[in-house]
Chain A
Amino acid sequence: MNFEKLLIGLITEYLASILFLLLLGLLCYGIEVLI
């Protein structure tokens, strides 16, 4: 397994997960504002 590829792949996965958590955080704020 190529180390460079592995590193880029891991960073991509971590960034995608952080984005997903951010969206869920935004959802919490959205619902707080709405309700």
Chain B
Amino acid sequence: MKAFKRNDWLTIFHYTGFIITITAILFTLPILVALFNQEWSALLDFLIGFSTTLIIGSTLRFVGLQRETQKRLEWKHGLVISSLSWLILLILCAIPYYLSQQYGSYLDAMFDVMSGFTTTGLTLALDLDHMSISLNVWRHMLTFVGGQGMVVLALSFLFQQTQGAYKIYVGEGKDVELVPNVKGTARIIWVISLINLFIGTTFLTIIGILQVGLQPLNAVLHGFCIFASSWSTGGFAPSSMNMLFYHSFPYELATMLFFLLGALNFGLHFAVIKRNKRELYRNIEVQSTVITVFISAVLLLYALSKIGLYDNAVLNFRKGIYHLLSAHTTTGFGTIYVRQFISDFGELGILILIIVMLIGGSACSTAGGIKGLRIGIIFKSILHEIKKSLSSERRILLARYHHIRDNTLDDGILKSSFVIALLYILLFTATTFIGIRYGYPAIEAAFEAASVTGNVGLSIGVTVPTMPSGLKITYIFAMFLGRMEFMSVFALIGILISEVKYLCLKKYSPSH
């Protein structure tokens, strides 16, 4: 039987077209920057990208236009719309990258787009230090928007509440409704992010001018780019030396502050704004993150002391704690050269970074990884089982946890937490094995695999433009799966397989 009928596809095309058309508006910022800086070649690249995206988005919307479209949005549609939009945008947003000749192939350009969308932060640019200003703004804007979600962006532009919009929203790996409708939730996410963008860019610009010694306009550009990367836990930077370029402790401290805040759940931000400050220490996600950060910090500092290269507390903080938080929040900023991880951190240090990269930040935030909420739930259930086995058999113990409100830990929540955690570990293992098959040492393959699976962006030196194409495709897929939290990608694959099966059966059936 066919999984999707003609009307289902029309609904999917309509909403996918809507998301693509809204995303086309993003091209206007780099176009304005290219005009302002008189980057004519880059301007042409962006105009080509903008018109292609607009034409394809509008065509899909037009093809899928039908009277009943808005009424028939189901879960299966929502999941497929999210992943299909991401895949089409991956190809379209790579146009200016490829035309700029900063990338060796279209695959490399798509790698960078996926890295930006998923807030990973790995790059295959050939010469980052001589990239046009407009292309740099485009890279960082994609990572900022990707952090909030391309679908979230599109939904905030809905003119009226569309029934079933929540299903597309969930498909992108977000599941918290801050207010009763998705349009309102999407808008709140954007308001919080844009206010922080203004504060953060201003703050980094001031430090850039006063402490780093940047020219005012350059400081604004760096301030915008670094804040966009920090808040979205992305990890892109305008310089190939990443954060090492600034050689500034205040600049590093500011980024730490921003990526810590960026890795928090939007539900938590909203609760604090609603004057529910107790949420900051009662939330299971905050508690689990604080515990994992402190345990891993002690272990990492011990590992660093054994190596002995960082011999004082300030160095340990700037190199050790910085990378630990950068990995845990899945940001990927670095204050050392990539090959220094092996010499400075040692195998134990690298292992700790791999574990925290897999744990990741908060659910419904800009961060990736298994997420603090799921880790908290899993540990809570283990503790509950121990408690149950120690208590008298007649007592019924109910496990509870606090996340925005008091919740009962039921089998459904526990099962989904375990399944997602298991899928992350399987993806990490498979990606590591593929890296080893391509000839990389196990520790390096594992580090890079954890980085792409958790959407982190720290690199140990595997991700370079000359790496094998097969590994580039593997990493693109791992970043995509990690960001979408599997389900919507699986839904798209399942639908495509059933469509192919249906076509094959139709072709070879005896009646034909």
Chain B nearest CB from A28 CB (Å) reads 4
Who on chain A is nearest to B196 by CB? A10
Q: Which residues of B contact A13 (CB under 8 A)?
A: 261, 264, 269, 272, 280
Query: Quick one: CB contact mask for B292-333 with A, threshold 8 Å, 1 for yes?
Result: 011001100110010000001110110011000100000000
Q: Which residues of B contact A10 (CB under 8 A)?
A: 195-196, 199, 273
Q: A9, A12, A18: which contacts B257 (Cβ < 8 A)?
A: A18
Who on chain A is nearest to B264 by CB? A13
Contact yes or no, A31 B317, CB < 8 A: no
Interface bracket on B: 20 to 34
Interface bracket on A: 20 to 34
Centre residue among A8, A9, A14, A25 by max chain B CB count within 10 A: A9
Q: B199, B260, B312: which contacts A20 (Cβ < 8 A)?
A: B260
Contact yes or no, B188 A1, CB < 8 A: yes
B191 proximal to A (CB < 8 A) = yes
B450 proximal to A (CB < 8 A) = no
Docked Cα-Cα span, A9 to B188, in Å, equals: 14
Contact yes or no, A31 B301, CB < 8 A: yes
B415 proximal to A (CB < 8 A) = no
Docked Cα-Cα span, A32 to B272, in Å, equals: 35
Q: Which residues of B contact A31 (CB under 8 A)?
A: 298, 301-302, 305, 313, 316
Docked Cα-Cα span, A28 to B294, in Å, equals: 11
| 1-35 of chain A: CB within 8 A of chain B | 1, 5-6, 8-10, 12-14, 16-18, 20-21, 24-25, 27-29, 31-32, 35
Given contacts A1-B188, A12-B277, A35-B302, 12 further A-B contacts (CB under 8 A): A10-B196, A16-B280, A17-B261, A20-B290, A21-B257, A24-B293, A24-B317, A27-B294, A28-B301, A28-B320, A31-B313, A32-B313
Top 7 A-B pairs ranked by shortest CB distance? A9-B273, A28-B313, A32-B313, A29-B313, A9-B272, A31-B301, A28-B316
- 5 A-B contacts, Cβ less than 8 Å apart? A9-B275, A10-B195, A17-B261, A24-B297, A24-B325
Which residues of chain A have a CB within 8 Å of any CB of chain B?
1, 5-6, 8-10, 12-14, 16-18, 20-21, 24-25, 27-29, 31-32, 35
